[in-house]
A = this chain, B = another copy of it.
Amino acid sequence: MKLREVLDGRWAEVRQAARDRLAGDRFVAVPGETIEQARERVTRLLRELPTELAAAGFPAEHGGAGDPGAAVVAAEMLGFLDLSLMVKAGVQWGLFGGAVAALGTRRHHDAYLKKIVSGDLLGCFAMTETGHGSDVQRLRTVCAYDPDTESFDLHTPYEAARKDYIGNAARDGRVAVVFAQLITQGERHGVHAFLVPIRDADGEPLPGVTIGDDGHKAGLLGVDNGWLSFDHVRVGRDMLLDRYGQVAPDGGYSSPIDDDARRFFTMLGTLVRGRVTVGGAASSATKQALTIAIRYGETRRQFTAPGRDREVVLNDYLAHQRKLTVALATTYALTFAQDQLVATMHEVQSAVDPVDGHRQRELESRAAALKVAQTWHATRTIQTCREACGGAGYLAANRLPGLKADTDVFTTFEGDNTVLLQLVAKGLLTGYRDSFGSLDGWGRTAFVAEQVREMVLERTAARSLIQRLIDAAPGGAERPFTDRGWQLAMLEDRERHVLDGVIRRLRRNAATREQPFDVFNDVQDHALKAASAHIDRVVLEAFVAGIERATDPAARALLSRVCDLYALSTIEADKGWFLEHERLTPVRSKALTSVVNGIVKDLRPQMTTLVDAFGIPEAWLASAILREEPRRQEDMAVEG
């Protein structure tokens, strides 16, 4: 069955290479470690990872493959093994190394990239502060230039300005890319990045540098998160990562981008890969959890039933099928969406000529959207899977506790999901889209009343196919639920309508609310819903386009059924909205639930096939119940 090939997507070779190169249990997470054991093992294994995995995203001239897409996919594969290792590798090569590559210039690349790729120089990405995680534009670390010494004075003015939750800080990092407010010749020029040594060759903090340990966390124990505080630390002028902003020896500032905020968000934009990676890795964890829960449910039995000679397997219960199979369908949808996003990111980041701002911001918006979708889906689905495995699901040896604890923070780092949803919503309003992608909560609401114009829904995948599907049947009440064009039209229509409502309310609020803050705040729930509706729609489009790439007829037929389940369960979950806005009648709505249940039952015999297609090697699953439960059931079957 060609299903796995389709899911492996455009970088199938990278996935297969990872399965081969990282085979066995060598890199598999170890349940029940102490924090010290986890940190030691992850740091050791980081250095044992194949070089091509570490280097994939870096320019060829510095030992890399110049393949950003491969770097993301390799990280997704690491996500099946050990999320701490995935995050540690992401910090080292994606964030720290990525910042040096994207924000530094030739001299930085020549001096540092090779050591970063080899793991000889472990480093940190120090942007987040205790007081500012989401609104990093307003971070408080300062870095002031002194022409007399031709160096900067890096300083943490108070506790809330500490760099915090910094991976590689508490134990291993020797250098940090530190983001700080640049001041020179008495003027502030916004946030810039500096390369700052933090530990000496013996591992001791350098003068003026204080390093703290964030200590025990809910999960990701193998990542040594800590905080950094700088007490007037001297940083050489050449340590400014100066691709987007330069300081001359006399302190004169220059930059190709005049506006401070625009410049900062342009810098951030080059780091979009982290967000794309986190979304993809979250989906790896989801796939792992579903594989464990569905395979367990195929062997685990409980309660007798008339007409059945043995107790009933869990997967035979409608409620059990529903929760797992619907989550599985969404996971399939997100897999296609992620594959498409990685391809887009790869194109943009590999382009020889700089990409226009509009495409860059579309990429950032899509990355935010899929980060939100995949991380919330992961944390909810893994919870469902833990409960579906009962008491066994609570034991660390069965892997689900680790998956839950490790993925929990994915909804917060690389962008808080609620804040990211607002970013997505703003991107849908043409008045904002052409401005720089500010992360703030619609701060410039003065903007809003004048600039919010018509929104334009852009189709994002398989445009002509989708247009044909939607046009294929006349509008009207009685198109079958399994008509793909109807499904797409329903989601497009909802997105358009909700966005329209956001615009209407913003204009009304701007005219009537006394408090400027309320102009935005009163519409926050609608804005978040608009973003969610947008995400559902683009994900369905990606699923449709993905099915087109499948050549095997059996695979296409099965994927089509799974796509029906994704689309219809998505509509069903929001039937309140569709009924409220009379896109569904009460009769159709009840019928919809029956149809969804019917597809769930149709897919019952394929549950295992569908998770097998994720292609997670047995040794990577490492869940004791998958070995033990079949054997235990055999004991009981013999006894009768």
Residues of chain A touching chain B, judged by Cβ–Cβ distance below 8 Å, are 31-32, 34-35, 128, 130-135, 138, 140, 157-161, 164-165, 214-219, 302-308, 311-312, 316-320, 322, 379, 383, 386-387, 390-391, 393-397, 400-401, 404-405, 408-409, 411-413, 416-418, 440-441, 443-446, 515-517, 520-522, 524-525, 528, 574-576, 579-582, 586, 589-590, 597, 631-633, 635-636, 639
In angstroms, Cα B306 to Cα A218, docked, is: 36
- Name the residue in A133, A215, A387, A586 with the highest tally of chain B Cβ atoms < 10 Å from its Cβ: A387
Interface pairs (21), CB distance under 8 Å: A34-B34, A128-B391, A131-B636, A161-B635, A165-B394, A217-B394, A218-B394, A218-B401, A218-B404, A219-B401, A305-B516, A306-B443, A318-B522, A387-B411, A391-B412, A394-B409, A574-B576, A576-B589, A579-B580, A580-B586, A582-B586
Q: Is the CB of A216 within 8 A of B412?
A: no
A441 B305 Cβ-Cβ under 8 A: yes
A154 smallest CB distance to B (angstroms) = 17
Is A32 within 8 A of B35, CB to CB?
yes
- In the complex, A311 Cα to B157 Cα: how many Å? 18
**Chain B residues with CB below 8 A from A404, complex form:** 218, 408
In the A-B complex, the 5 residue pairs with the closest CB atoms: A32-B216, A218-B401, A579-B579, A160-B632, A158-B635
Given that A316-B517, A412-B387 are known contacts, is A133 also in contact with B302, CB under 8 Å in the complex? yes
The residue in A219, A394, A440 that gathers the most chain B C-beta atoms within 10 A of its C-beta is A394
Give CA–CA (A215, B396) in the complex, Å: 8
A632: chain B residues within 8 A (beta carbon): 130-131, 158-160
Cβ of A528 to closest chain B Cβ, rounded Å: 6
User: In the docked arrangement, what's the CA distance between A405 and B403, Å?
Assistant: 12
A395:B130 contact, CB within 8 angstroms:
no
List 16 other contacts, CB 8 Å, given A160-B636, A320-B418.
A157-B635, A160-B632, A160-B633, A216-B396, A217-B394, A218-B405, A219-B394, A304-B443, A305-B445, A306-B446, A306-B517, A319-B418, A319-B525, A574-B576, A575-B579, A580-B589
Measured in the bound complex, the distance between the Cα atoms of B160 and A394 in whole Å is: 17
Per the bound structure, the CA–CA distance linking A440 and B306 in Å amounts to 11
Alpha-carbon distance A580/B444, docked complex (angstroms): 40
Q: Determine the chain B residues whose CB is within 8 A of the CB of A635 once the complex forms.
A: 157-161
Shortest Cβ distance from A50 into chain B, in angstroms? 30
Is B134 a contact partner of A302 (Cβ separation < 8 A)? yes
Query: Chain B contacts of A317 at CB under 8 A?
Result: 441, 521, 524
Interchain CB contact under 8 A, A408 and B386: yes
A161 / chain B contacts, CB cutoff of 8 Å: 635
Q: Is the CB of B395 within 8 A of A214?
A: yes
CA distance A574 to B131 in the complex (A): 38
Contact of A440 among B138, B304, B444, B580 (CB under 8 A): B304
Q: Taking A130-B632, A304-B138, A405-B405 as contacts, is the C-beta distance between A215 and B395 under 8 angstroms? A: yes
A304 cross-chain contacts in B, Cβ below 8 A: 135, 138, 440, 443
Least Cβ–Cβ distance between A222 and chain B, in angstroms: 14
Q: Which residue from chain B places its CB closest to the CB of A31 in the assembled complex? A: B216
A316 to chain B, nearest CB (A): 7
Q: Taking A305-B520, A580-B586 as contacts, is the C-beta distance between A218 and B396 under 8 angstroms?
A: yes
Shortest distance between the CB of A446 and any CB in chain B (Å): 7
Task: State whether A318 touches B525 (Cβ < 8 A).
Answer: yes
In whole angstroms, how far apart are the Cα atoms of A354 and B164 in the complex?
A: 61
How long is the Cα–Cα vector from A302 to B128 in the complex, in angstroms? 13
Tell me, in angstroms, the Cα distance from A319 to B422 when the chains sit together: 11
Shortest CB distance A184–B (Å): 20
Say whether, besides A160-B632, A218-B394, A387-B412, A517 and B128 are in contact (CB < 8 Å): no
Known contacts: A32-B35, A160-B632, A576-B575. The answer to whether A140 contacts B639 by CB under 8 A is yes
Q: Which of B218, B316, B379 is in CB contact (< 8 Å) with A521?
A: B316
Bound together, the chains give a CA A215 to CA B130 distance in angstroms of 35
Q: Within 8 Å CB of A320, what residues of B?
A: 418
A319 to B160, CA, bound (A): 25
Q: Are A391 and B409 in contact (CB under 8 A)?
A: yes
- CB neighbours (8 Å) of A517 from chain B are 305-308, 312, 316
**Closest chain B CB from A408 CB (angstroms):** 7
Which residue of A140, A159, A400, A632 has the most chain B CB atoms within 10 A of its CB atom?
A632
Contacts of A393 on B, CB cut-off 8 Å? 412
- Closest chain B CB from A520 CB (angstroms): 7
Contact B396 A217 (CB under 8 A): yes
B441 with A636: CB separation less than 8 A: no
- Known interface pairs A575-B580, A576-B589; A525-B322 also in contact (CB < 8 Å): yes
Residues of chain B with a CB closer than 8 A to A303's CB: 134-135, 440-441, 443
On chain B, the residues within 8 Å of A130 by CB distance are 632
CB of A303, distance to nearest CB on chain B (Å): 4
> Nearest-CB distance from A622 to chain B (Å)?
14
Residues of chain B within 8 A of A302, CB atoms compared = 132-135
Given contacts A32-B216, A440-B304, A639-B140, is CB(A528)–CB(B383) below 8 Å? Answer: no
Report Cα–Cα, A31/B639, bound state, in Å: 45
Residues of B within 8 A of A576 (CB): 574-576, 579, 589
In the bound complex, how far is the Cα of B316 from the Cα of A193, in angstroms? 32
